[in-house]
Amino acid sequence: MPGFIGINNHEGSRFTAERAALIPVVERLADRHVFFFDSRTGPASQVVPVARAFGVASASRDVFLDDVQTIDAVDAELRALEARARQQGTAIAIGHPHEITLDAVAYWAAHQSGFVLVPLGTAIRQKTETEARRALAGR
């Protein structure tokens, strides 16, 4: 697909937990200078460390907005996203295009202050750089 800027796993917890399986994918991404966004569909994901070992910008989501599809649950996740962004400097959320999710995010975006929405590639670069600086500083 010409012009793509990165890839994302939507499912595939078993695959993303296998370092050896990820290497050929990450090598191709490194050749193309594109990112690998990890939806973190399982707790054993190796996407970020393997991608970064090959110089591929990578980050995983911080918050899943609509695991529970109620307005209160999505609002709570948006508040968790805000807290993570304040703590880390950058935070990434994922969700589905459910009406509840879209309405909650639209309302949040129209009424929030102090946050800047950025493209996913920008957020991944920011998280990659921040985490690299922390690693170099020994934190």
Report which of residues 133 and 83 the model is more confident about.
83
Q: What secondary structure, in 3-state letters, does 38-96 show?
A: ECCCCCCCCHHHHHHHCCCCEEECCEECCCCCCHHHHHHHHHHHHHHHHHHCCCCEECC
What percentage of the chain reaches a pLDDT higher than 90? 81
On the question of pLDDT at 24 being above 90, the answer is: yes
Res 2: pLDDT? 81
CB 55 within 8 A of CB 28: no
pLDDT, one tens digit per residue, over 65-112 is 999 999 999 999 999 999 999 999 999 999 999 999 999 999 999 998
Res 11: pLDDT? 76
Average pLDDT, the chain: 93
Q: Which of 40, 52, 35 is nearest to 16 (CA)?
A: 40
On the question of pLDDT at 113 being above 90, the answer is: no
Q: Torsions phi, psi of 35, nearest 5?
A: -95, 165
On the question of pLDDT at 125 being above 80, the answer is: yes
Segment 115-123 shows an average pLDDT of 94
| CA pair distance 91, 9, nearest whole angstrom | 18
Judged on CB neighbours under 10 Å (0-12, 13-18, 19+), 108 is middle
C-beta atoms surrounding 137 within 10 Å: 7
CB 43 within 8 A of CB 65: no
Res 139: pLDDT? 66
C-beta atoms surrounding 1 within 10 Å: 4
